[in-house]
């Protein structure tokens, strides 16, 4: 086995890299792909074996709304089924810090040498497991941004950076949804391709050891399920972020609505005075006329005598209209109280007129009792209605 870890500077350092790989793999190194998988088979010696295969993923690590870093971890494997010799290239796979330690941890977590010699997909399974862990970390980084925005909403909703920051976070969330969905598809293709290899080379795989085939396949299925779970969480995070954006818009609209109400109220206060001023400015009235009469004077108090009452009436009508429900409830309550007092007064008045309890007539007694029962029933019904309304 020969394994090489290559950084992004690989293209600049090795200008002859195109002589090392197949033309179909050049796009993985040159272009900005969001994920891919491919396998080329060897048909010699009456067997069908995956001679060359590669996997490419895409990752985005977000540190803040405007600070992020893209990664494109890729794996290229050349495998000789006769000798078990493997040539492995890993591109942009590990973090820039503590690379030696990360490389050793990754190599120590690989399957046994015999499993790697018997099945190149064992490398793909181990590579996918580490990449999915990085996908999980990347999702939590985006989630932390959304959560921080939710916690500080009431402090910075009026800030000029509120919506631009939400826009940047939404862009990161959309990118994550895209790359995790492509990653799930890539893992699905890996599992399907291993099944195809088994169907084409069934006898040799069974003779070599079926466990060498099953273990990597189960690992790929496990990572595919993990990618599906991350995709579901990403979808939930996008909906959560959309809800945050809508709430921000509503809060801004509420603030604007309060300002509009204030402006409307101030305009309403000055509207009657403007109306009266315009009315007195017409030619209907002659304040300079020497003839005595109602309008034959130029006292300025007349303007205030008309404008102020008209302003108060206008404001009163406006306030009554906006509080019409409270006024209706108060009126209903006063009317019910008046009815109860009237019924109780009639009842006691009837008792006095008939000479007390011993002198009550049957008809009058039943009538007064029915009045009390009706009044009590009315009180109970109104109380229940209020409780249900609340």
Residue with the bigger pLDDT between 277 and 186: it is 186
SS3 of 203-266: the string is HHHHHHCHHHHHHHHHHHHHHHHHHHHHHHHHHHHHHHHHHHHHHHHHHHHHHHHHHHHHHHHH
The pLDDT confidence band at residue 170, using thresholds 50, 70 and 90, is very high
Contact 49/39 with Cβ under 8 angstroms?
no
The mean pLDDT of 365-385, rounded to a whole number, is 47
Q: Does residue 118 surpass a pLDDT of 80?
A: yes
Cα 41 from chain centroid (whole Å): 45
The Cα 365–Cα 352 span in angstroms is 12
- Position 77 scores a pLDDT of 93
The Cα 326–Cα 369 span in angstroms is 33
The pLDDT confidence band at residue 166, using thresholds 50, 70 and 90, is confident
The pLDDT confidence band at residue 357, using thresholds 50, 70 and 90, is very low
- Position 390 scores a pLDDT of 34
- What share of residues in the chain are helix, strand, coil (percent, to 5)? 65, 10, 20
The mean pLDDT of 225-236, rounded to a whole number, is 95
| Highest mean pLDDT of the ranges 179-188, 324-333, 377-386 | 179-188
- Position 386 scores a pLDDT of 41
DSSP class of residue 38? E
The mean pLDDT of 315-336, rounded to a whole number, is 83
Cβ-in-10-Å burial (0-12, 13-18, 19+) of 355 comes to exposed
The pLDDT confidence band at residue 326, using thresholds 50, 70 and 90, is confident
DSSP class of residue 284? T
The mean pLDDT of 27-33, rounded to a whole number, is 82
The mean pLDDT of 267-292, rounded to a whole number, is 68
Q: Does residue 388 surpass a pLDDT of 50?
A: no
- Position 41 scores a pLDDT of 93
Within 10 A of 20 (CB to CB), how many other CB atoms are there? 13
The pLDDT confidence band at residue 15, using thresholds 50, 70 and 90, is low
Apex 40 CA angle, 39 and 43, nearest 5: 135
Q: pTM score > 0.85 for this model? A: no
Q: Which residues pair with 70 in a beta bridge?
A: 60
Contact 60/172 with Cβ under 8 angstroms?
yes
Using alpha carbons, select from 155, 21, 156, 13 the residue that is nearest to residue 75.
21
The mean pLDDT of 97-122, rounded to a whole number, is 80
Contact 177/231 with Cβ under 8 angstroms?
yes
Q: What percent of the chain has pLDDT over 90?
A: 31
The pLDDT confidence band at residue 358, using thresholds 50, 70 and 90, is very low
The Cα 246–Cα 242 span in angstroms is 6
Buried-exposed string 192-224: b where 16+ CB fall within 10 A, e elsewhere: ebbeebbeebeebbeebeeebbebbbebbbebb
**Helix segments in 281-323, DSSP class H:** 301-322
The pLDDT confidence band at residue 349, using thresholds 50, 70 and 90, is low
Contact 169/146 with Cβ under 8 angstroms?
yes
Cβ-in-10-Å burial (0-12, 13-18, 19+) of 160 comes to exposed
The pLDDT confidence band at residue 238, using thresholds 50, 70 and 90, is very high
Apex 28 CA angle, 22 and 29, nearest 5: 90
Quote the mean pLDDT of the chain: 79
| Highest mean pLDDT of the ranges 18-32, 43-57, 297-311 | 43-57
DSSP class of residue 282? S
- Position 261 scores a pLDDT of 72
- Position 350 scores a pLDDT of 55
The mean pLDDT of 26-55, rounded to a whole number, is 88
Contact 35/54 with Cβ under 8 angstroms?
no
The Cα 122–Cα 47 span in angstroms is 19
Distances (CA, A) of 385 to 25, 273, 381, 389: 75, 44, 6, 6
Q: Does residue 102 surpass a pLDDT of 80?
A: no
The Cα 336–Cα 378 span in angstroms is 8
Contact 76/37 with Cβ under 8 angstroms?
no
pLDDT one-digit tens code per residue, 125-137: 999 999 999 999 9
Q: Does residue 200 surpass a pLDDT of 70?
A: yes
Apex 67 CA angle, 61 and 71, nearest 5: 30
Cα 252 from chain centroid (whole Å): 18
């Amino acid at each position: 086995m020969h394994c090489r870890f290559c950084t992004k500077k690989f293209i600049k350092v090795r200008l002859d890299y195109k002589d090392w790989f197949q033309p179909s793999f050049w796009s993985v190194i040159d272009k900005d792909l969001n994920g891919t998988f491919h396998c080329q088979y060897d048909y010699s010696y009456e067997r069908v074996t995956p001679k060359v295969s590669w996997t490419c993923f895409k990752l985005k690590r977000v540190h803040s709304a405007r600070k992020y870093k893209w990664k494109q971890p890729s794996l290229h494997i050349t495998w000789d089924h006769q000798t078990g010799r493997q040539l492995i290239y890993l591109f942009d796979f590990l973090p820039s810090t503590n690379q030696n330690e990360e490389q050793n941890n990754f190599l120590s977590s690989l399957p046994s040498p015999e499993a790697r010699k018997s099945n190149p997909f064992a490398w793909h399974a181990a590579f996918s497991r580490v990449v999915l862990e990085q996908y999980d970390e990347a999702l939590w980084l985006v989630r932390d941004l959304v959560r921080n925005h939710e916690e500080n909403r009431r402090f910075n909703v009026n800030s000029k950076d509120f919506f631009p920051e939400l826009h940047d976070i939404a862009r990161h969330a959309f990118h994550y949804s895209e790359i995790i969905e492509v990653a799930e598809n890539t893992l699905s293709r890996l599992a399907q391709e291993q099944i195809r290899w088994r169907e084409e080379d069934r006898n040799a795989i069974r003779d070599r050891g079926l466990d060498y085939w099953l273990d990597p396949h189960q690992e790929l299925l496990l990572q595919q399920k993990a990618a599906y779970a991350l995709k579901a969480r990403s979808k939930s995070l996008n909906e959560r972020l959309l809800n945050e954006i809508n709430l921000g818009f509503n809060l801004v609209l509420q603030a604007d609505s309060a300002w509009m109400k204030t402006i409307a109220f101030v305009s309403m206060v000055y509207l009657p005075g403007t109306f009266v001023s315009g009315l007195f400015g017409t030619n209907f009235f002659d304040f300079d006329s020497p003839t005595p009469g109602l309008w034959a004077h130029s006292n300025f108090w007349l303007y205030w005598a008309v404008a102020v009452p008209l302003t108060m009436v206008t404001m009163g009508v406006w306030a009554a209209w906006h509080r019409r429900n409270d006024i209706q409830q108060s009126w209903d309550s006063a009317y019910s109280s008046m009815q109860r007092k009237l019924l109780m007064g009639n009842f006691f008045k009837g008792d006095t007129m008939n000479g007390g309890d011993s002198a009550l007539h049957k008809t009058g007694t039943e009538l007064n009792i029915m009045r009390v029962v009706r009044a009590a029933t009315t009180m109970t019904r109104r109380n229940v209605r209020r409780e249900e309304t609340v």
